[in-house]
Amino acid sequence: MSMVQALNQPRQEPTEVDMLLLWSVLGLLALGLVMVYSSSIATAEGSKAFGYQPAYFLIRHGVFLCVAMVAAAVAFQVPVKVWQELAPWLFLAGAVLLAVVLIPGIGRDVNGARRWLPLGFANLQPSELMKLFAVLYAADYTVRKMPHMHDLKKAFLPMAGAMVVIGGLLLKEPDFGAFVVIISIAIGILFLGGMRARLFAVLFVVLLAAFAILIIVSPYRRDRLFGFMDPWSDAFGKGYQLSHALIAFGRGELFGVGLGGSVEKLFYLPEAHTDFLLAVIAEELGFVGVLVVVGLFALLVQRAFAIGRQAVALERLYPALVAMGIGIWMGVQSFINMGVNMGLLPTKGLTLPLMSFGGSGVVANCVALAILLRVDWENRQLMRGGKV
């Protein structure tokens, strides 16, 4: 190729956003839609509550995805600075919603947990939104307290107080999964923001002790814990759900029984289209399918941290912490959900981000990733000498 020709080539424009991140997110969303449909067909077709329509969950999840895309598109237009300004207010609004959901007559009760606010056309799950607000707020808080990070009283206690309130509301529902995710986000962001290592170590021990006490005191959580330790000892009682999830994994082998071929989804595995979606993926698409999902989440988390570090390099601390916070959120929640599916962690009500059925979750996840992409976009604009 001659010099002239090379010069005449149209110049490769640098991409506007992180394409790896975008594709991994779209991949997870698409695979999620397919698997939600596959895992819910039998339940929907066989239940009066779902009008015996096989596509009941497919249609709803599809609508949620459309809403989420629109919300994400809107969120992408919002500068990160604006999110930072809004963060305390969003956090407050989230806390109010978490309180409202507990009011009898307003919050909707499903399977003994009051987690939903009926909006007529759909149900809003405030805890899903709260995860996003916690990221936005914790990042803002950390940035504000940065000069005092060595100071326990100034840096940690206010956040700890806020977490006690939020955590208390979440446990009241109860939504132990969201509690763990939000605490992880808050601590993770404080850690990244430079909170003293010794403090962090103490905090870690205290939290561990708190979890232990919580599990010992509450029979409901203790049972869940024991079910996870040995699902086969009470395989038709406490270990029922997990044992079926594990069977689904075993049946899948390397390449799976084929899309649509799951037996576990045929009324055996409860919550196949929500919390235990991965088990159906494992059965139908095999180890390869699970590896793809794990790999896409790992890529997503890696990109989130890469974007965050890029923001740090650009001295944009708030966007950096938001990006990494979203990475922690996605990473922790997907890790816990998949760990639960595989019997590595005690069963708790947590969905697989971007994939499981559920409107609030999908919308909140998509908005969060739109913000992550916005951080990246702003990084790229700044690197090109542009303004944000």
Residue 244 contacts residue 268 (beta carbons within 8 Å): yes
Residue 285: closest CA among 275, 297, 273, 277: 277
Residue 170: closest CA among 195, 201, 133: 133
CB of 231 to another protein, least distance (A): 10
The interface region with another protein, picked from 30-38, 107-115, 171-179, 286-294 by CB under 8 A, is: 286-294
Q: Does 286 bind another protein (CB under 8 A)?
A: yes
Selected from 13, 153, 315, 386, the binder of another protein by CB under 8 A is 315
CB of 239 to another protein, least distance (A): 11
Q: Does 22 bind another protein (CB under 8 A)?
A: no
Amino acid (1-letter code) at residue 46: G
Residue 276 structure tokens: 């235990």
Give the contact letters, 24-53, x = binds to another protein (CB under 8 A), - = no.
------------------x---x-------
Angle (nearest 5°) at CA 196 between 190 and 200: 65
Q: Does 177 bind another protein (CB under 8 A)?
A: no
Selected from 143, 162, 203, 354, the binder of another protein by CB under 8 A is 143
Q: How far apart (Å, rounded) are the C-alpha atoms in residues 380 and 362?
A: 27
Selected from 14, 77, 219, 232, the binder of another protein by CB under 8 A is 232
Q: Does 98 bind another protein (CB under 8 A)?
A: no
Amino acid (1-letter code) at residue 33: L
Q: How far apart (Å, rounded) are the C-alpha atoms in residues 293 and 42?
A: 23
Half-sphere exposure for 36 (CA within 13 Å, toward CB): 29
Question: β-pairing, 123-124 with 108-110?
Answer: unpaired
Q: Does 149 bind another protein (CB under 8 A)?
A: yes
Residues numbered 122-141 forming contacts with another protein, rule: CB under 8 A: 140
Residue 196 region, left (φ>0) first, then alpha (ψ -120 to 50), else beta?
Answer: beta
Q: Which residues contact 88 (CB under 8 A, 6 or more apart)?
A: 137, 140
The interface region with another protein, picked from 55-63, 104-112, 168-176, 283-291 by CB under 8 A, is: 283-291
Residue 353: closest CA among 98, 110, 135: 135
The interface region with another protein, picked from 211-219, 316-324, 347-355, 373-381 by CB under 8 A, is: 316-324
Q: Does 235 bind another protein (CB under 8 A)?
A: yes
The helix/strand/coil state of 219 is: helix
The interface region with another protein, picked from 33-41, 204-212, 313-321, 368-376 by CB under 8 A, is: 313-321
Q: Does 338 bind another protein (CB under 8 A)?
A: yes
Selected from 85, 154, 168, 209, the binder of another protein by CB under 8 A is 85
Q: Which residues contact 128 (CB under 8 A, 6 or more apart)?
A: 178, 358, 360, 361, 363, 364
The interface region with another protein, picked from 51-59, 174-182, 327-335, 360-368 by CB under 8 A, is: 327-335
Please count the other Cβ atoms lying within 10 Å of the Cβ belonging to residue 232.
Answer: 9
Nearer to another protein, 173 or 264 (CB): 264
Angle (nearest 5°) at CA 280 between 277 and 282: 110
Give the contact letters, 189-228, x = binds to another protein (CB under 8 A), - = no.
--xxxx----------------------------------
Selected from 32, 188, 346, 358, the binder of another protein by CB under 8 A is 188
Amino acid (1-letter code) at residue 152: L
CB of 287 to another protein, least distance (A): 4
Residue 270: closest CA among 295, 236, 297: 236
Contacts with another protein by CB under 8 A lie at 42, 46, 81, 84-85, 140, 143-144, 146-147, 149, 188, 191-194, 232, 235, 243-244, 246-254, 263-264, 266-268, 282, 286-287, 290-291, 294-295, 297-298, 301-302, 305, 308-309, 312, 315-318, 320, 324, 327-328, 331-332, 335, 338-339, 342-344
